[in-house]
Amino acid sequence: MRPILLLVEDDDAVRRSLQLLLSGSGYRVRSFASSAAALADPIAIEAKYLVADFMLPESDGVELLRGLRARGWSGGAVLVTAFPSDELRQAAEAVGYAAVMEKPLRQEALLGALGRAAAA
């Protein structure tokens, strides 16, 4: 069975592109435009992976992972952002992100980061 991956990205075009890439790479992708929608999904707790944008409409990717962890989720997570900084990396790692990747994403780098997140 293909592992479930949560994809949370508010940009429709980016979300669709990532969904196609990840689905084609063997993941069963559940995609959302907001962290609230992802957190409301009853299947979210079953996901093995999370790929989340940092800047989301009502929250951010760090708060999203914090919310998932509070519900008992223990999967591997990768944060993506157009605004990288040392402070963001530290905050992301503190809540459990295995990697912080800068947009625009390179496909191979994202897939490699997910592989490392699985091992973490």
Q: pLDDT tens, 63-116?
A: 999 999 999 999 999 999 999 999 999 999 999 999 999 999 999 999 999 999
Q: pLDDT at position 14, please?
A: 97
Report the mean per-residue pLDDT for the chain: 96
Q: pLDDT at position 102, please?
A: 97
Confidence band, pLDDT 50/70/90 cuts, at residue 41: very high
Q: pLDDT at position 88, please?
A: 98
Query: In the predicted model, is pLDDT for residue 55 greater than 90?
Result: yes
Confidence band, pLDDT 50/70/90 cuts, at residue 7: very high
Fold of 4-119: Rossmann fold (3.40.50)
Confidence band, pLDDT 50/70/90 cuts, at residue 118: confident
Long-range contacts of 114-119 (CB under 8 A, 24+ apart): 114/5, 114/49, 114/51, 114/76, 114/78, 116/76, 117/49, 117/75, 117/76, 117/77, 117/78, 118/48, 118/49, 118/76, 119/76
Rg (the chain; Cα; Å): 13
Q: pLDDT at position 112, please?
A: 96
Q: pLDDT at position 120, please?
A: 72
